[in-house]
Structure 1
Amino acid sequence: MKKTPQPQKHTRYPIVLVHGIILKDIVFFKAFGRIEKALKRQGYKVYTAKTDGFGSIENNAEQLKSHILKILELEHTDKVNLIAHSKGGLDSKYMINQLNFAEHVASLTTLCTPHKGSPIATKLLRLPKFLIKITAFWVNLIYKIFGDKHPDALKVCKQLQLSEQDCNLYAPTDVYCQSYSTTLEKCRDDFIMSIPLIFSRRAENHPTDGLVSVESSKFGEYKGNCVDASLSHSQIVGFAITKKKKARICEFYSQLCEDLNKHGF
C-alpha cells in the first residue's frame, strides 16, 4: 500500500541557520546535525551559514552578510529568516544593526544566545595570561586548518564576557525578534557539558544550559525553553543527543518554522 505523500511546508522567506562557536560545518560534520536535512524534507528552503568557528562578532557578521546576499540572489527574494544558535545570534544582531542589513531580514530567532554574556568566558579570562595566549594560539591554528579565514579565539572570549547591559536596546525595530533557551538539569543528562554546568551554577543563580543562563538568553519576545526537558547548550543543535530527544528537537524546529509562516515570514 502506497504512503500518502505529506503536504510540503514552506515559509515566505528562506531560512538561514546560523551556528555559534566551535560547531561548524566541517566535511561530514554538520553544525546543526540533521536538522537542516529534516527541514528540507518537509519542504522548507534551508541554508546553514558559512562563518568561522572562532571568528569575532564583526568578522562573522561580514561573512554572514556575504552569504545571505548570495542566497537572496539564488532564491530571487529580498529577505531571509535567521535562526541563530549561541554566538550566532550576536553575529546576526551585529550584521542587522551595524552593517545596515535590517531590510533583508524578516525575522531573527536566537537559541541559547549569550545576549548578556557567559560566565565560562569570564572565568577563562581570569586564567594566567600566558596560558590564555597559548590556548588561543592553538585554537586559532586548529580552526584555520578546519577552514576558518580569520580565527581570533581571544577576542571571541572577550566578547562573550558577562555583561549587565540591556540587550534589548540592540533589538532591531524593523525585524521580528524572538528568543528561546534550554536548561540542563543534571550533569548526567550531558556528560560533555557536565563540567561547564558545574562552573556555571557556581557563577550565577539562574538556570543554565551549561554555558548560557536562561536570563542571558532572553531577547526580543522570549518564548521560554525550546523543549520541555533537560537539554544542554549543544544538544539543541543535535550534538551528542539521544534518539528520543533528537525527535523532540526536530519537532521544535519544525514548529518554529510553522510559526514563522503563520506570522507571514
Structure 2
Amino acid sequence: MKVWTPSHPSRPAVTHLALTAVQRLTGLEPFPQPPVIPLRLPVVLMHGFGLLAVIRRKGHLHDTAMHLRAHGVRAYAPNVAPYETIATRAAMWAERIRHVLAETGAPQVHLVAHSMGGLDARYLISRLDFHPYVASLTTIATPHRGTAIADVVLQQPERLRDWAAEIVDWLGANALADGTSNVRQAVHELTPAYVEGTFNPNTPDHPDVRYASYGGQAGKGTSTPINPFLKPLNVLLYHRQGINDGYVPVSSAQWGTYRGTLEADHLRQIGIQMGSGGSFDAGAFFASLVRHLAAEGG
C-alpha cells in the first residue's frame, strides 16, 4: 500500500546576504553585554579646572564613570570646587575618596585625573599623606610644568581680570553645596613659574604609588582637528610651548611612565565634542586605561 506523504516545494537557497540581514535585524549576539574588566580596586576620576559641568550636568566625568560601571568597574566621578586652589581642591578630594573607601570597603583606589586634577592628586598623595590609600595615579593632559595659557590670563588688563574673577568666583562658589572659589590664585598655580618653581619641588612623588601619564595633541602642528573654541588658545600656546591640546602642551603633560599622546583636544579627551572632525573615542580610551590597570594587578 502506498503511503501518501505531503510534498514540499523546493526551498530557495538562503544566501549569505539574507542571513546577514536577519542577524542585523535581530541584533542578537552570544554576549551582547560589555565585557567585564576585572579590576580589583575602585577607580576615582578626578576632573580639572572650570565648569565643564555646565555642559555635563552631573560633572565633567560622570558619563565616563557610568561607562566604566557598565564594564563592571567600581568607578566614581565626584565633583570638587571648579575654581579653587590645588590645596583646597586636594582636601575636598580627600573627603570624596574617604567616602568611596567607606562605601566599597576597598583598602585603596586608583586615581585617574584629567588636567588640573592631576596636580590635585599629586598634592593629595604627597602633602596630605594619602599615599597609603592610593595604588596608582594616571594623569591625562595635566600641566605638570604649567601652561602658558595661565600667564596670558594673568596678563590681561586689571579691570577685565577683576570683572571676570568676580563672575567666575560667584559661579564657582555656588556650583557645589560645599563650594568656595579663588580663581585668581587657582590660575596663578597653573603658571609654569609656579608649577616648576614652587609646586614640583615641594610635591615629590611617593615611592609606593605608581605614576603614569598621557598627553594630548590637536590643532596647529598636528593633523588632528581641534574644537573651534580652543583654536585661538591652541595657536597661542603652540608658539610658546609647542604641540598642545588647546590648554596643555605635550611637554608639560609627561610625568612618571609616559604612555603616549592622545590624538584629541582637551575637551575630546573626556568625551566633549563640539565641532566636526576627529574620531577619538573617550569611552574606549578610558576602558583601555582601566584594562591596563587590571593587567598590572589592580
Specify which of 165, 176, 181 is matched with residue 215 of structure 2: 181
What secondary structure, in the 3-state scheme, does the structure 1 residue paired with 2:142 have? Answer: coil
Question: Is 2:29 the partner of 1:3?
Answer: yes
Change (3 A) 1:247 1:134: closer
Specify which of 238, 246, 250 is matched with residue 210 of structure 1: 246
Structure 2 partner of 1:115: 144
Alignment of 1:135-154 (within 5 A): 135-147=164-176, 149-154=179-184
Return the letter of the residue paired with 1:34: D
Specify which of 256, 259, 273 is matched with residue 223 of structure 1: 259
Identity %: 26
Contact 1:167 1:219 in 2 (8 A): no
Q: When the two structures are superposed, what TM-score results if normalisation uses the length of structure 2?
A: 0.81
- Structure 1, unaligned runs of 5 or more: none
What secondary structure, in the 3-state scheme, does the structure 1 residue paired with 2:281 have? Answer: helix
Contact 1:210 1:232 in 2 (8 A): yes
Query: What CA distance in whole angstroms lies between the structure 1 residues aligned with 2:180 and 2:207?
Result: 30
Larger CA Rg, structure 1 vs 2 = 2
Return the letter of the residue paired with 2:191: Q
Comparing 130-139 and 73-82, the one that deviates more: 130-139
Question: Is 2:229 the partner of 1:192?
Answer: yes
Q: CA RMSD in A?
A: 2.3
Q: CA deviation at 1:58?
A: 0.6
Specify which of 191, 213, 227 is matched with residue 161 of structure 1: 191
Structure having greater relative contact order (Cα 8 Å, sep ≥ 6): 1
Q: CA deviation at 1:24?
A: 5.2
Return the letter of the residue paired with 2:188: K
Query: What CA distance in whole angstroms lies between the structure 2 residues aligned with 1:264 and 1:180?
Result: 20
Contact 1:10 1:45 in 2 (8 A): no
What secondary structure, in the 3-state scheme, does the structure 1 residue paired with 2:107 have? Answer: coil
Contact 2:115 2:143 in 1 (8 A): yes
Return the letter of the residue paired with 2:93: L
What secondary structure, in the 3-state scheme, does the structure 2 residue paired with 1:170 have? Answer: coil
Change (3 A) 1:121 1:52: same
Specify which of 236, 249, 261 is matched with residue 282 of structure 2: 249
